[in-house]
Structure 1
Amino acid sequence: MINPGDIISYIEMCNEEKVNLQRGMNYHLRGETSVILMSLRANAPYSDRVEEEGHVLIYEGHDVPKKTNTPIPKVVDQPMRNPGGTLSQNGLFYEAARRYRSGGKAADFVKVYEKIHRGIWVYNGVFKLTDAWQEESNNRKVFKFKLELVENIQPSSESKQQPVEIEHSRIIPPRVKLAVWKRDKGRCVVCGSNDNLHFDHIIPFSKGGSSLVAENIQLLCARHNIAKRDKIE
């Protein structure tokens, strides 16, 4: 099982979810847990953003697929439904959020992966889907989804949402992740390994350490991350 802050490849991400992740929005991918892929990079195709020091994620819905009759997806409204009338991924997430807002059901759990570099992803942890709306953007309608960080739980892979205790921290901003990745040259600062890396808080978040500055973040391999955690405990 991967933990929040773990740095993984695309293949490792697909292996974790036991499916080839070809799209960014995956409603109820396995059981009742959904998966989204996000990016906060300057050239990202969608306008995702992080608020409240990483506690809240505002995720933008996805465009219609590029086809002959829709050569430029960015000029048409993001779809609520597929051509056949079924709900699109936008529609599925939207309806789930509205059911939660109306008190009809508990909030859905959503696992969030963030692309920080070509072929490099970070697992940001588990969020709950709490709101959804449509807004105007560049003369078209786009979907926005509000997700709030869930502290200290990880949904299991079973069909029901069974919380499992894990260590968690706030999202590290992309500028900090990239700065740390470049500074540490994509390797563990202790042993130089480039396998099973993790963004580690030098001063733990639980003890007041910041996620917002590169000076408090370092790359550690799994072995040295566990060794450090054992010393702190």
Structure 2
Amino acid sequence: MRGNVISYLEMCQKEGASLQRGMNFRLKGHHSVILMSVRPNSPYRDEVQDDGAVLIYEGHDEPKRKGISDPKVLDQPERLASGTLTENGKFYQAAQGFKAGKKGPDIVQVYEKIKAGIWTDNGFFHLVDSWTENDGIRNVFKFKLVAVENVSAESAAEEVSSRFAERSLIIPTSVKLEIWARDGGKCVTCGATDELHFDHILPYSKGGTSLKTENIRLCGALEGST
């Protein structure tokens, strides 16, 4: 559920796979999964835009191996030496297929690392665009994902192209960290430290926002979510 605080093990159990990499295209034939971070020491430049409605996700580098000591000076790869698409290439082509009107948007589950050992479930997104840009040193992939309130089927790889999806928002990382520190990493009502989620005191439907810490609190599993 969007806003849940989750451990790495819980993420893997939820997805039924060991999430060893940050980009997982159509995991087990179902929705895709990406791991994001906007922390200062993050290896990639992910961005949250439009007050939490849009995620701009950066593609991933060549892995370090013999002959490659610094992947940050190399263009991010679209294909392996064998010609097989990398995860960058798979996500890129899926987004281009949607833009061309050939398919529905791919469904992507997003998890965000906010602190060491602390992740949040950022919910489902639609993959709607992709491009490459130069970061001053090399070319990198960029992917645009739009937060959606729900999907037609969580097990589906892509959305029905004619389906209208209600857009949603995610809580910015800076707000999450401020709330975590303010509430001491525990439920403000019962003091629980597990099964936590970020809860809106005033829901979106009644004018609530994800940008103000006074509208968000940490809640345990027994507390109702909005």
TM-score computed with the length of structure 2 as normaliser: 0.93
Structure 1 unaligned regions, length at least 5: none
Give how far 1:28 is off.
Answer: 0.3
Give the structure 2 partner of residue 148 of structure 1.
146
Structure 1 residues 53 and 159, CA gap change in structure 2 (3 angstroms): closer
Matches within 5 A, 1:168-183: 169-183=168-182
Structure 1 residues 223 and 154, CA gap change in structure 2 (3 angstroms): farther
Q: Which amino acid aligns with 1:76?
A: L
Q: Which amino acid aligns with 1:128?
A: H
Match of 1:8 among 6, 9, 18: 6
Give the structure 2 partner of residue 93 of structure 1.
91
| SS of the residue 1:40 aligns to | coil
Give the structure 2 partner of residue 42 of structure 1.
40
8 Å contact 1:4–1:169 — kept in the other structure?
no
Give how far 1:161 is off.
Answer: 5.7
Give how far 1:134 is off.
Answer: 0.4
- Quote the Cα distance in structure 2 between the aligned partners of 1:159 and 1:216: 34
Structure 1 residues 19 and 90, CA gap change in structure 2 (3 angstroms): same
| SS of the residue 1:98 aligns to | helix
Give how far 1:170 is off.
Answer: 1.2
Q: CA RMSD in A?
A: 1.8
More strand by share: 1
Give the structure 1 partner of residue 80 of structure 2.
82
* 1:134-180 Cα deviation digits (max 9, x unpaired): 00012200000011112233632367768xxxx99511111100000
Q: Which amino acid aligns with 1:100?
A: F
Matched, 1:135 2:133: yes
8 Å contact 2:146–2:167 — kept in the other structure?
no
Structure 2 unaligned regions, length at least 5: 161-165
Give the structure 2 partner of residue 200 of structure 1.
199
| SS of the residue 1:130 aligns to | strand
| SS of the residue 1:153 aligns to | coil
Matches within 5 A, 1:46-125: 46-125=44-123
| SS of the residue 1:95 aligns to | helix
Task: Give the number of equivalent residue pairs.
Answer: 221
Identity of matched residues, %: 54
Give how far 1:195 is off.
Answer: 1.1
Moved more, 152-161 or 46-55: 152-161
Q: Which amino acid aligns with 2:71?
A: P
- Quote the Cα distance in structure 1 between the aligned partners of 2:153 and 2:23: 17
Give how far 1:224 is off.
Answer: 1.1
Match of 1:27 among 25, 28, 31: 25
Give how far 1:185 is off.
Answer: 1.0
8 Å contact 1:30–1:157 — kept in the other structure?
no
Give how far 1:202 is off.
Answer: 1.1
Give how far 1:84 is off.
Answer: 1.7
Structure 1 residues 36 and 75, CA gap change in structure 2 (3 angstroms): same
- Quote the Cα distance in structure 2 between the aligned partners of 1:200 and 1:29: 29
TM-score computed with the length of structure 1 as normaliser: 0.90
| SS of the residue 1:30 aligns to | helix
Give the structure 1 partner of residue 163 of structure 2.
none
Give how far 1:213 is off.
Answer: 1.3
